[in-house]
Chains A and B, each alone.
Chain A
Amino acid sequence: MESNIIPLFSAIWFGILTSVSPCPLATNILATSYIGKHIDNSYGTLIAGFFYTIGRAAAYISVSIIIIYSFLSIPEISFFLQEHINKIIGPMLIITGLFIMEIIPLRMKGFNLSGEIQKRLGGGNVLGASLMGFFFALSFCPISAALFFGSVIPLALKYESKLLLPFLYGVGTALPVLLFAVIISYASRYAGTFFNKLSVVEKWFRYITGILFLIIGFYFSMKYLFRLMI
């Protein structure tokens, strides 16, 4: 990697351009509401925001490695992800929404999770946020495909940076959500000193987040799974 910092800033800038476009708006709304529901714990929002970013970056690094080390071409990978991940993400969001609203309890046969673990997975600071970031990043839309496959990957190949540049692009795509997590974290700390009812706010956030997951999951299912224009 050259000492030139231009490609580093370019990768972050392409990520920011992706994040502020209308295309990933739905997933950004979900991510912010998901992170916001940890408002009862000021570190919870920060942790969720951090791991959401890590999840996104991990997805882009994985795709970059697949492109470099596999025989698959960029068009094949790009169209596969745009077509198939978007198809499964709708039903996945609906199921997650049902978990968040606790309509479906997180229990499996012979495998009951304790309240604390359930809270961590269902409310999911680390695992939930990372997985959400990972899958949202993989659900490529036209602009993220254009900027990632058309700008970041050529840069990564040119500067032989198959890990760092895709990682920085991932950080760039998560920046608005990360910024929101920091603001909410500070806001909740100050709010906590005035009144001790953040658990009530958290409850409302949880329901709103769950409903948003259901609505956007329904929207994704209609659009990508059933190919209905709405």
Chain B
Amino acid sequence: MFGLIFYVFVTVFMFAAPLSMVSFAEEIKKEPQNAKTKIIAYYFHGTYRCPSCKTIEEWSYEAIKNNFQDKLKNGRLIWKALNIEEVQNRHFVKDYSLYTKSLIISEMNGEKEIRWKNLDKVWQLLRNQEKFFSYVECEIKKYMEN
């Protein structure tokens, strides 16, 4: 009886082990290369909010919320809308060479910034919501994949 149980156990292990190895390998592949990294999508605005500036903020957040909900929930992607006229945020003007209200994506490894990009075409796509959404989605996807 004990021998039979041992035989079944060994047989199951022999077949199951490679399967579990495969799924484990897939898990590793699916995991981000560095789990510590996160993407921050900043929208920088001033105290006065012009109609176009409000539209850019709303559309950007909507594009992110609709396409990256899981990433927002698990903290891999963070949305921040900041007023650059407030003293504690003024350094961003220099950090990102801002010249107007802007949408910036930044990759962080812990407290260290690895790279950033100004999604400056948002102003050119203000009259086309579909293209605007697609632009923001593609840029963030590209950033996450590379």
- Give the interface of A toward B (CB within 8 A): 14, 17, 21-23, 73-75, 78-79, 82, 141-143, 145-147, 149-151, 223, 227, 229
Contact = CB atoms under 8 A, between A and B. Distances in A.
8 contacts: A21-B52, A22-B52, A75-B94, A75-B97, A142-B53, A143-B100, A223-B48, A227-B48
B6 interface: no
Given A17-B124, A150-B120, A151-B124, A145 B50 contact: no
B93 A75 contact: yes
A154 to B, nearest CB: 9
Interface residues of B, number: 21
B78 interface: no
Contacts of A146: 99-102, 120, 123
Contacts of A14: 124
Nearest to B46: A142
Contacts of B52: 21-23, 142-143
Given A22-B52, A229-B48, A151 B120 contact: yes
Interface of B: 46-48, 50-53, 93-94, 97-102, 118, 120, 123-124, 126-127
Contacts of A75: 93-94, 97-99
B19 to A, nearest CB: 53
B126 A145 contact: no
Given A143-B123, A146-B120, A150-B120, A74 B53 contact: no
Secondary structure of the A side of the interface?
helix
Given A74-B99, A147-B124, A79 B93 contact: yes
Nearest to A77: B99
A78 B48 contact: no
Contacts of A23: 50-52
Contacts of B46: 142
Contacts of B98: 75
Contacts of A227: 47-48
B121 to A, nearest CB: 8
Contacts of A145: 99-100
A22 B127 CA distance: 12
Contacts of B118: 150
A17 B52 CA distance: 12
A16 to B, nearest CB: 11
B51 A78 contact: no
A141 B101 CA distance: 10
A150 B98 CA distance: 9
B43 to A, nearest CB: 12
Contacts of B123: 143, 146-147, 150-151
A196 B52 CA distance: 44
